[in-house]
Structure 1
Amino acid sequence: MTAATSRAEPLPTRRRVLLGAGSLATAALAGCLGAGGPDDEAAEPVDLTEGQECDVCGMAIADHFGPAGQVFYADGEPEDRDGPARFDSVAELLVFHAEREARGWEKRAAFVTDYSSVAYDLLEGDERLHISTHAAAEDFADATELHYVADSEVHGAMGEDFLPFSDREEADAFAEEYGGEVLEWGDVAGRT
């Protein structure tokens, strides 16, 4: 009878187990913090002309007057769909954003209609002057870099609104002609 010989692998040492666990933890942490995830990608404005509804009032954005807006949040918010939170007015965007910020949501990017980059119309309706809506992707600009006409006689979808312009001189001229004052993003965000 011959004895069977077995060749056993040596058991890992405590040092080897700890080193392996440490390497795995480091790789996992680097994956969480490193580039490549959706939160690290630059947000770009999306088109809101295909019947998308405002996340505050539920109205179809492209069917109403005034500036449109969108906010991208970190951590995939809002969870019910891909893409940004959407709005048919800057005023509603600001209220929604303030509420989400209080819940700990982090803004990645915010975009609003830039009236300096579109051929807008002023239209009379229900005894008020309204500004046309522009919600194609190319009509949006970084909300934090624009100048806003507040308290003018020109209204958006929900009444008085903040009308954004990338050109400060155009914003000043609009306010001079239609009333109101020109504010920057930090001032507008504080008026919610």
Structure 2
Amino acid sequence: MVAAVGMTGVTGLAGCLGGESGASAPAAVTLPDDATCDVCGMVIANHPGPSSEVFYADEQPNGHDNPARFDSTWEAFQYDFEHDDWDREAFYVTDYSTVDYEIHTDGGQQLISRHTGEETFVDAETVTFVADSEVAGTMGADLLGFSERADAEAFRDDHGGELVAFEQVTETLISQLGR
């Protein structure tokens, strides 16, 4: 599935993600225990899977201060695509290369652990994602970020999926995840 999407539309959609993060970007923050996802409204800390946070200049996502908060990576991309007229300052995702993650089985589904501390986040533009592996997050299949490409390759070899770079994440790919 992901291979079919592959590079389709990458050139056209890569710029649709908004601004670029850089040296002046806000630093990642620890998500509060009661923080809810800005797409689905679920309490992030109560569920497994990757967390994401996105900072926007001069915006208040869902009426609260930055960052916009998400209980899945694909929802963060979805939100960012929907707000492509906002100036994105930073996009952070869980870095599974630096956390001591766990995979457990619940109801026959393999789930990966949640991490919400500021030290667990990394700039999404610098990671290699494993998309659509057999390991799920809160909202099903997801994009799991690894700052070390070798870690992403090893995870993919063990759990399936496809390797995807930030600029390869398209609206088509997002529409196929988590459903």
| Counterpart code for 2:156 | A
| Counterpart code for 2:29 | V
Secondary structure of the residue aligned to 1:83 is coil
User: Which aligned pairs between 1:104-123 and structure 2 lie closer than 5 A?
Assistant: 104-123=85-104
| Structure 1: tracts of 5 or more residues without a match | 1-39
Q: Please list the CA deviations of residues 138-188 of structure 1 after superposition, one character each: whole Å capped at 9, or x if unmatched.
A: 100001111100121000000000010000000000000100111100112
Which residue of the partner structure matches residue 82 of structure 1?
A: 65
Q: TM-score, normalised by structure 1?
A: 0.75
Q: Find the aligned partners of 1:48 and 1:57 in 2 and give their Cα distance.
A: 16
Which residue of the partner structure matches residue 137 of structure 1?
A: 118
Alignment of 1:68 onto 2:51: yes
Q: Which has the higher contact order (CA 8 A, sep 6+)?
A: 2
Alpha-carbon shift at residue 136 of structure 1 (Å): 0.7
| Structure 2: tracts of 5 or more residues without a match | 1-22, 175-179
Alpha-carbon shift at residue 189 of structure 1 (Å): 4.0
Q: TM-score, normalised by structure 2?
A: 0.80
Identity of aligned residues (%): 44
Which has the higher Rg, Structure 1 or Structure 2? Answer: 1
Give the ranges of 4+ consecutive aligned residues of structure 1 lying more than 3 Å apart after TM superposition. Answer: none
Q: Is the 8 A contact 1:148 1:188 kept in 2?
A: no
Alignment of 1:92 onto 2:47: no
Alpha-carbon shift at residue 79 of structure 1 (Å): 6.7
Which residue of the partner structure matches residue 131 of structure 2?
A: 150
- 1:142/1:116 Cα in 2 relative to 1: closer, same or farther (>3 Å)? same
Q: CA RMSD in A?
A: 1.5
User: Which aligned pairs between 1:1-192 and structure 2 lie closer than 5 A?
Assistant: 42-78=25-61, 80-101=63-84, 104-190=85-171, 191-192=173-174
Alpha-carbon shift at residue 51 of structure 1 (Å): 1.2
Alpha-carbon shift at residue 82 of structure 1 (Å): 1.8
Aligned length: 151
